[in-house]
Amino acid sequence: MARARSRIAGVISVFGELLITTGVLLALFVVYSLWWTNVLADRAATEESDRVRHNWAAAPQGQGPGALDTKDGIGFLHVPAMDEGDVLVKKGTDPETLNDGVAGYYTDPIKSALPGDRQGNFTLAAHRDGHGAKFHNIHKIRTGDPIVFETRDTWYVYKVFKDLKQTSKFNVDVLQPVPKESGKTAPGRYITLTTCTPLYTSEYRYVVWGELVRTEKVDSARTRPEELR
């Protein structure tokens, strides 16, 4: 009887140690996913952003944003409500692109317009958790808040008019040139921000829509619009 109890105690002890080890490994994985990937992504994004601004400074005068539509990045997103600073925007929304701590504009399933287009929907995505988490605070955006997109020679100032706090990740209609779920029925110059929701999951999508209210030419000092001061 004593020997049997000893075996049972040994099994319980080993099982307990395995649970502790598993818990430690899971904790380390969470730390990696939610902290270390942010460190790596922010480092990569800073390097890429510096390269884009350097290229802008070296570009011939008069080169417009269309000519800057390259894999290096087309400009910077500024959303004061999210307090993320300058977010580099690149082409594509695949993980290879977004994992570098940037936002990307959609090339499929519905191709994004670019800010300089006469009409259309400039549709963007970024991670909400890990890998830079540039849209982590998307829930802080309110109707009337500014969204500003910066290119080498133009500031595009949008105003938020609607959000959709949860929708299916398969709902591509939110990316349409005229996003009717936002209440719009006519062509315009829109911007759409999308990311995962709820926090720490990717089950649904959170969507914010804005509409262009004006543009400003960038001056030699790159003076920011009043919305960013």
Q: Hey, which residues are catalytic here?
A: 196
H helices of the chain, in order, are 2-31, 37-58, 95-98
CA 175 to CA 93: how far, in whole Å? 13
Task: Provide the 10 A C-beta neighbour count for residue 167.
Answer: 16
* Residue carrying structure tokens 């307990």: 16
CA distance 176 to 182: 10
Q: How far apart are CA 76 and CA 88, in angstroms?
A: 5
Spell out the residues 6+ positions from residue 189 whose beta carbon is closer than 8 angstroms to its own. Answer: 113, 115, 117, 118, 119, 120, 122, 211, 212
